[in-house]
Amino acid sequence: MTVAEFRAKLMDQLDAHGDEINAQAQANIEQYRKRNHKIRIMDKEGKPVVGAKVHVNQQTHDFKFGANMFMLDEFEDPEVNRRYRETFPKYFNFGTVPFYWAGLEPEEGKPRYEIGSPKVHRRPAPDLCMKFCEENNILPKVHCLCYDKVIPEWLPKNDKEAMWRLYEKRFQEISQRYAGRMYEIEVTNELVASYGWTTCSILANEPDTDLRMFEMARKYFPQDKLLVHDCELADVGWAGCRSPYYLQIHDLLRRGAQIDKIGVQNHIFIGVSGDQEADIPTYYRHFMVDRIFNGLKTLSSFGKPIGITEVTIPTVGEEGLEAEQLQADMLRILYTIWFSAPLMDSITYWNLADYSAVTFPKWDENNCRGGIFHKDMTPKLAALELYRLVHEEWHTELELTTDAEGYVNFRGFYGDYTADVNDETIHFGIHKGGLQQTNYKSQK
């Protein structure tokens, strides 16, 4: 298929409903992502400054735009590693740190927390990721405390009591190093799909495993935001309140689990089995408008913050700018829908660079070409489009003039701001539940 044929096949519903989707999204963004604010400028005697020019500029986003950090210092070429380190904080304020047990503790009793630990591909040491985050004002996330599919070979997988003891030891160790330092803690990952796992422990299919994991997480992370994570958004949208993920969350909450946020994936793995065209019937569900919006509606019914936790958008057809433009268009539409959802608070792209994804026999995510950067970490059109959305379309920068009472009034996206007036800089924020007015008395 040509890229034009892929576009016609995949984008038919999104294009047909484009005006309706965009109108609703823009209305929601205006309502849920922005707030009115006013600044009053006074001179050093406390009198209002009239007719002053005020340059208002947003510095940060409260909304979390993220990616996984699995390739931090993982490329063979030092120049690509440098480019990755330079690029990440320009695009993202949120980073997923790998805590997969198999990669974190491949040898019993020798966890790889520290910088300089033995290398495991796509599993940089958590301390390395944390240092990078703290140096670059990036909020880190634990992924994940319990993913019973990706666990070390040395575990006594068929001994239930031993497995619980070792899980508790793992939770305790991680909490001692990272509790209170993370934006959120992903407690369980993909347990809804555990019936099909072949490498898991006896706990994967025990009925109370998810509840006990949350109880244990709250014990060791008493102040942290705890996240449940599973499923694809389109699959929740298909079955609604009868979807396995909805039923899992409903059951956990009914039994007293303290869930602070709901995470859901959006992997469009076209090409993962080899031929991209052959995969279209399987992954077309991600482009079905009713499924997208019903998935968001279903998860929103719990009244908790939502995160799109793992995003893959493929580059289909022959490589080149036409294929990149299609990927960029997909990203723009999907990110706009997600960003506009009232309870959404984060969107995390998954594998940033092409050919840096996970591969297994008969499963090769690199065939999707799902990176928004080329393999050398130069931006594809999708990366440039994401940057434009975050730093231009969803960004507030205004030139204002104070009125007769010294006020400027405006509506801005949630985040931290500066306002420059008469060679002075004012620092303030626009946040949900925060102050709606900033008063500034000149020092000159």
190: left (phi over 0), alpha (psi -120 to 50) or beta: left
412 and 345, same domain (yes or no): no
pLDDT at 196: 87
Cα–Cα–Cα angle for 403, 406, 408, rounded to 5 degrees: 65
pLDDT at 188: 98
- Alpha-helical (H) ranges within 34-100 are 78-91
pLDDT at 400: 98
Q: Report the CATH number that the domain containing residue 216 is assigned in CATH.
A: 3.20.20.80
pLDDT at 90: 98
- Measured between alpha carbons, how far is residue 67 from residues 97, 160, 203, 252, 325 in Å? 9, 34, 29, 28, 21
306 and 289, same domain (yes or no): yes
Non-local (6+) Cβ contacts of 272 within 8 A are 279, 363, 364, 365, 367, 368
222 and 312, same domain (yes or no): yes
- The CA dihedral of 366, 372, 378, 383, to the nearest 10 degrees, is 180
| Confidence grade of residue 212 (pLDDT, cut at 50, 70, 90) | very high
**Number of domains making up the chain:** 2
Non-local (6+) Cβ contacts of 237 within 8 A are 288, 290, 291, 292, 293, 294, 295, 296, 298
CA distance 376 to 380: 11
Residues 106-149 have pLDDT tens digits of 999 999 999 999 999 999 999 999 999 999 999 999 999 999 99
Residue type for position 362:
K
Residue 163 belongs to what domain range? 64-393
| Confidence grade of residue 274 (pLDDT, cut at 50, 70, 90) | confident
397-401: strand order across its sheet? 397-401, 53-58, 415-421, 424-430
160 and 142, same domain (yes or no): yes
| Residue 390 DSSP code | I
120 and 268, same domain (yes or no): yes
Give me 100's structure tokens.
């997969």
51 and 69, same domain (yes or no): no
Non-local (6+) Cβ contacts of 170 within 8 A are 101, 105, 145
Query: Could you tell me what percent of the chain has a pLDDT over 90?
Result: 98
Helix (H/G/I), strand (E/B), else coil: 250: helix
If 0-12 CB within 10 Å is exposed, 13-18 middle and 19+ buried, where does residue 37 land? buried
Non-local (6+) Cβ contacts of 109 within 8 A are none
189 and 107, same domain (yes or no): yes
Helix (H/G/I), strand (E/B), else coil: 47: coil
Residues 167-177 have pLDDT tens digits of 999 999 999 99
Residue pair 307/263 in contact (Cβ under 8 Å)? The answer is yes
pLDDT at 226: 98
147 and 185, same domain (yes or no): yes
pLDDT at 46: 96
- What is the arithmetic mean of pLDDT over 235-248? 98
Give me 332's structure tokens.
């723009």
| Confidence grade of residue 438 (pLDDT, cut at 50, 70, 90) | very high
| Residue 393 DSSP code | I
If 0-12 CB within 10 Å is exposed, 13-18 middle and 19+ buried, where does residue 161 land? exposed
Q: Dihedral sign for Cα 312, 313, 319, 325, please.
A: negative
Q: Report the CATH number that the domain containing residue 437 is assigned in CATH.
A: 2.60.40.1120
Q: Mark which of 393, 414, 432 sits at the end of a domain.
A: 393
308 and 186, same domain (yes or no): yes
- pLDDT tops 90 at residue 246: yes
> By C-alpha distance, which of 25, 5, 15 is closest to 337?
25
Residues 410-429 have pLDDT tens digits of 999 999 999 999 999 999 99
21 and 76, same domain (yes or no): no
CA distance 228 to 262: 5
- pTM surpassing 0.95? yes
276 and 339, same domain (yes or no): yes
426 and 295, same domain (yes or no): no
pLDDT at 444: 84
How many Cα atoms within 13 Å fall on the side-chain side of residue 407?
8
| Confidence grade of residue 91 (pLDDT, cut at 50, 70, 90) | very high
Residues 152-198 have pLDDT tens digits of 999 999 999 999 999 999 999 999 999 999 999 999 999 999 988 98
Residues 15-42 have pLDDT tens digits of 999 999 999 999 999 999 999 999 999 9
Residues 66-88 have pLDDT tens digits of 999 999 999 999 999 999 999 99
CA distance 306 to 438: 30
Residue pair 271/191 in contact (Cβ under 8 Å)? The answer is no
